Structure 1
């Protein structure tokens, strides 16, 4: 039996793997940040700022993970494409991924073909991870915020 659309299967499997890696990365990063805040003897301000930068860097790494995945699927495997202008490079993929991950959706670049599944799933994943980070930040700040410092 042959699979009628093997490129679709490739995108779905690749998307699943990328989402799993991103969620596990997010979990581990938030756990590490929380653990570091708990054991740190640094002043309150430094701990909160370190937490904020740690969360932001985690999102940047996840955006790059999805951006490289999108680039690999389209440029290396020729499964779909990005449209909007000519001659896309890796940073264009990162930009499009960041816009999709944050659900901003400017619309100047758009995906066509099977790779659309990756970017559709990316929007949901980004939304979930960003709200997870917001909840985490709120809880950590409640635990560690000191009035007057």
Structure 2
């Protein structure tokens, strides 16, 4: 079961990295160069909104995977899954991804605790990636200003 959990978590992480890469690449390579007529501030806002959209898609992806697993014979999830809804998985995923912890989630199986740690590590790295992308956009915006 440990190996299955690691493989499942690794697949989810690879999917999240792919989503993040593609969103940021499309924004930086396709959208930003076509925004010449808008202010540089709008570039930064579009970049931040794009990062938020990527994180939202990734959180929903983890939640959907957790929710779908409870229809299998794998013992990943909550021990009391019969009373859990998709919103419970979405809340759990958001808490794990942002490294807030899962204090209100009770009755986690050992596999789900391991997946929460994997998702937290992925979230930490992807949030840092978004921060560096935003910093890059801000330096371009600030670098474009002339002094007084």
Residue 122 (str. 1) matches residue 119 (str. 2): yes
Match of 1:38 among 33, 36, 40: 33
> TM-score when scaled to structure 1?
0.83
Q: Deviations over 1:102-149 (max 9, x none)?
A: 01115011422323222110010000100110011011111124559x
Q: Does 1:49 align with 2:45?
A: yes
Residue 29 of structure 1: how far off its partner (Å): 1.2
Q: Structure 2-normalised TM-score?
A: 0.83
Aligned to 2:77: 81
Q: Which has the higher strand share?
A: 1
**Counterpart Cα distance in 1 of 2:19 and 2:73:** 25
Change (3 A) 1:84 1:141: farther
Contact 1:101/1:125 (8 A) holds in 2: yes
CA RMSD for the aligned pairs?
A: 2.3
Aligned residues: 142
Bigger CA drift: 57-66 or 107-116? Answer: 107-116
Tell me how far apart the structure 1 counterparts of residues 141 and 126 of structure 2 sit (CA, whole Å): 22
Structure 2's unaligned 5+ residue stretches are none
Q: Give structure 1 stretches of 5+ with no counterpart.
A: 1-6
Deviations 1:12-61 (A, max 9, x none): 22111111111111112111111222332122232222111111000000
Aligned residue in 2 for 1:4: none
